[in-house]
Amino acid sequence: MPKLAAFPKAFMQELCKTGTMKVSEWIDLASKLDIEGLEWYAGFIEMQDVNNWQKFKDEVAEKGKQIPMLCCSPDFTHPDLAFRQKEVEKQKNWIRMCQILGGKYCRVLSGQRRPELSIEEGIQYAVDCIEECLPLAFDCGITLIIENHYKDDFWEFPEFAQKMDVFCELVGRINHPNFGVNYDPSNTFLAGEDPLELLYRVSHRVVTMHASDRYLIEGTIEDLRKEEGGSLGYAKRLRHGEIGKGLNDYDAIFSELKRVGFDGWISIEDGVEGMEQLERSVTFLKNKMAIHWPKN
């Protein structure tokens, strides 16, 4: 049976930029949910203090939860080698952070889709950087998970490996026991592609999942395409929605994951309209999981 975690999608600005929410406040809120874990983000302001790493692990443990996953956003596709090397060092630090937090899964990304970058250049840059991080991940007992991502909250350009063919090519070039996929079905819609097609192509590499349902509050995916580069964060027309009320077919998704023996962590990206919304998403997912992974 997979386990559920939650990610503070609704509070990223408060936790990472303005400091108007403390991490302990998020721990208190999330611990009331019927979940087993809290997914962490490396960019929380308070994580800049190394002394807080063990402190927060202990706080979460006192609530009867754990921190299974650390969400990081390395930018490995910058054309400057010195820049990429700094990103590798950041990722290595996040691997150490993940270990101290008690996590087993640490996210990596390809990087930003800069207009001047060719597909082959971007893939090779990302592969080289990820492979440079894998020996440390192995030593720390951490699995690096690459997500079919849309765009980090604080990036200017969308994910380099956003498109399915690019993502699958990148994943296919790295064969290591401490490397796998964090599958996010909603992000595939934003690439104008079918999330089930992507899942069928990479399901044997999926070790964790983001449960999400996104929607456009106005316009079309094509309108979104025109807005997604050149400004920080997400386009304003894009919203995270309640799980089970969007376009994703969770029965089909869970059927395929069950078929390949998936029993990892599913982290919920939701709650932008409040904790009650997040609670409904938890209920939806637990009901679906009980159907596809029955206890007997």
Residue 33: C-alpha distances to residues 25, 100, 184, 195, 264 (Å): 14, 24, 21, 27, 19
40-53 tens-digit pLDDT: 999 999 999 999 99
Q: Do the beta carbons of residue 130 and residue 161 sit within 8 Å?
A: no
Residues of the chain with pLDDT under 70: 214-218, 220-240, 271, 296
Residue 236: per-residue pLDDT? 60
- Residue-level pLDDT at 270: 80
- The two most distant CA atoms of the chain are separated, in Å, by 54
CB atoms within 10 A of CB 1: 10
pLDDT, one tens digit per residue, over 216-264 is: 666 766 666 665 555 444 456 566 678 998 889 999 999 999 999 999 9
Beta strands (DSSP E) in the chain are 3-7, 37-38, 40-41, 69-71, 105-108, 143-147, 179-183, 206-211, 213-216, 238-241, 265-269
Whether 56 and 23 have beta carbons less than 8 Å apart is answered as yes
Give the pLDDT of residue 246.
Answer: 81
- The answer to whether the beta carbons of residues 105 and 143 sit under 8 Å apart is yes
State how far the alpha carbon of 115 is from the alpha carbons of 92, 120, 274, in Å. Answer: 27, 13, 37
Cα distance between residue 134 and residue 137, in whole Å: 5
Question: Between the CA atoms of 109, 113, 118 and 121, what dihedral angle is there, to the nearest 10 degrees?
Answer: -30
